[in-house]
Chains A and B, each alone.
Chain A
Amino acid sequence: MLDDFFLRAVLAGLAVVLATGPLGCFVVWRRMAYFGDATAHAAILGVALALGFSISIFIGTLVVALVMAMTVAVLAGRGWAMDTTLGVLAHSALAFGLVAVSFLPGVRVDLTAYLFGDILAVNRVDLAVISGGAVLVAGLLVWRWSALLTATLSEDLAHAAGLHPARERLVLTLALAVVVAVALKVVGALLIAALLIVPAAAARALARSPEAMALLAVAIGAAAVLGGLRASLVWDTPAGPSIVAVAAVIFAASLPLGVLARAGARP
């Protein structure tokens, strides 16, 4: 049954949003949007290194994303001006990645697939890796949920409750690196951050608790995957950008709905 490329694409997309839904909520709550961008852009450098050393693209992006995420986390901990630091790191990683790819001997690399994703080309092995990584991240977030949420609300409160906010930050950093590595094939390095942020932002307008927001973000992400893939099939549009475009439309629609919901909630 997995012979159908479209079915594999749908499953890969749904697996990814299972992880990006809740993780995207933390990215929004902790104002880590640019952090996600920097990590995702670094993935292109990972692609270049993986092709250069003939290792798996997944491993290459995972390692570079991890290094980038840790670097940013350490710099943030030292109180660097994150806006500038992240801007420098994100775009340097992207630029060096693109330059490095051009140096690769032999086969000409089709960068579009890595920049914007190639979800319709997902094979069985890809699907296994993507679902494995996504389920791992979702499981990690569910397992640490209460501690992550407390540390996100206030690191001081988390400390006083005997938790270790630094450990929870590390959990999110690891989760982000894994998500970047598995989502590269689905939406590409340039749009991974969008898949994190847009569904979570759309869910915010409608949710009244953190858990509801995370579940809604998954549902909105799933709707975006289904709608985007359908659109790409019907109109022959690029799949990754179509998914993000549908998510953005849902976000726009959520704004007036949120206003109505809040007005209704008031006595």
Chain B
Amino acid sequence: MPRLPRRTMSAAQVSARSDPHAGGCADGEGGQGCGAHPPLQPSPEALITARGLGVGFGGPLVLRDVDFTIAPGEIVTIVGPNGSGKSVLLRALLGILAPRRGQVTRRRGLRVGYVPQRLHIDQALPMPVHRFLSLPQRHGPEAQARVLARVGVPDVAHKQMTVLSGGQFQRVLLARALLAEPELLVLDEPTQGLDQPGTAAFYRLIEAVRGELGCAVLSVSHDLHVVMSASDRVICLNGHICCQGTPQVVLNAPEYRALFGPGTGGALALYQHHHDHAHDHGGVAEPATLDQQEGHG
């Protein structure tokens, strides 16, 4: 199905997308795929496709039987508890880790903008922001100034990376990723270490930037209530794919509840709180997170 811009998605389309998933996911026992998601269709324009992916480090596989694809413009979020293999999956899809089973295919010449989970810059390495933005490809001062202003840190170009605050640092990482004019933006828990307003602001920024670039976004996160509502598809991971589908579908899936139910009650409550608002009061709640749920209601 061609991806539609999320904000213009009609109620009928949302239902059409979610219903088949919902039925399948409820049947699952938490095993691979839980029969919910449609079979992986070979698609020539898919940015990254993985089949039967298994990754391990000497011992048992950390990740097994993962089928995955991401289409141009699609927003996919991977959620899962600590140690569920989220970052491992991301790194295998990027080619940083070699798979032990299966295969990963990236479209030829795919431009990836990667925002890593954390980046430690050694004190021994002097690294001003403007130099960091030109690694490995040079970008002129005008382009750098433009993208720094866009991500909300216009004055840091000549500062050292090591003196930036956590929020500034993440925004500079994002700026570097954007300078590559990515077709796929990959975010590995990009808001780790940011407080809640900082996290919300960062995701709003990603949303806005994605709207401008039209790039696909693949992210890994714990910030369920923020990220899930912004995603076309959520993949719930715990060593394998437990279930996947639209945010509502995954939220209601028993596999997801089994993984996150008791532990992250706050996040779920917050999410559903928004959801209810959308049902009851239409446009009252925060629009950035709710368009899809409104349609669903």
Contacts and interface: CB of A to CB of B under 8 A. Distances in A.
B121 interface: yes
Given A146-B136, A150-B135, A150-B136, A160 B128 contact: no
Contact of A156 (B96, B121, B122, B127): B96
Contacts of B112: 160-162
A31 interface: yes
Contact of A210 (B113, B131, B136): B131
B114 interface: yes
Nearest to A147: B136
A153 B121 CA distance: 7
A92 B114 CA distance: 43
A247 to B, nearest CB: 17
Contacts of B95: 159
B91 interface: yes
Nearest to B57: A79
Given A146-B136, A147-B136, A155-B96, A28 B124 contact: yes
Contact of B119 (A152, A157, A201): A157
B137 A29 contact: no
A163 B128 contact: no
Chain A contact-residue range equals 20 to 34
A162 B180 CA distance: 12
B168 to A, nearest CB: 16
Contacts of B114: 156-157, 160-161
A161 B137 contact: yes
A167 interface: no
A113 B261 CA distance: 72
A245 B45 CA distance: 62
Given A147-B136, A150-B135, A29 B180 contact: no
B126 A207 contact: yes
A210 B125 contact: yes
A204 B112 CA distance: 32
- Interface secondary structure of B, over-half rule: loop
B160 interface: yes
Interface string A191-217: 000000000010010011111110000
B135 A157 contact: yes
Contacts of B137: 146, 161
Interface in B176-202: 180, 186
B38 to A, nearest CB: 29
Nearest to B180: A161
Given A149-B136, A209-B128, 4 more contacts: A152-B125, A160-B114, A207-B126, A211-B131
Interface of B: 91, 94-96, 112-114, 116, 119, 121-122, 124-128, 131-132, 135-138, 160, 180, 186
23 contacts: A29-B122, A29-B125, A146-B135, A150-B136, A153-B121, A154-B116, A154-B119, A155-B96, A156-B114, A157-B119, A157-B135, A158-B136, A160-B94, A163-B136, A204-B124, A207-B126, A208-B126, A209-B126, A209-B128, A210-B125, A210-B126, A211-B131, A212-B126
The 8 closest A-B pairs by CB, nearest first: A160-B114, A150-B136, A159-B96, A146-B136, A29-B125, A150-B135, A28-B124, A207-B126
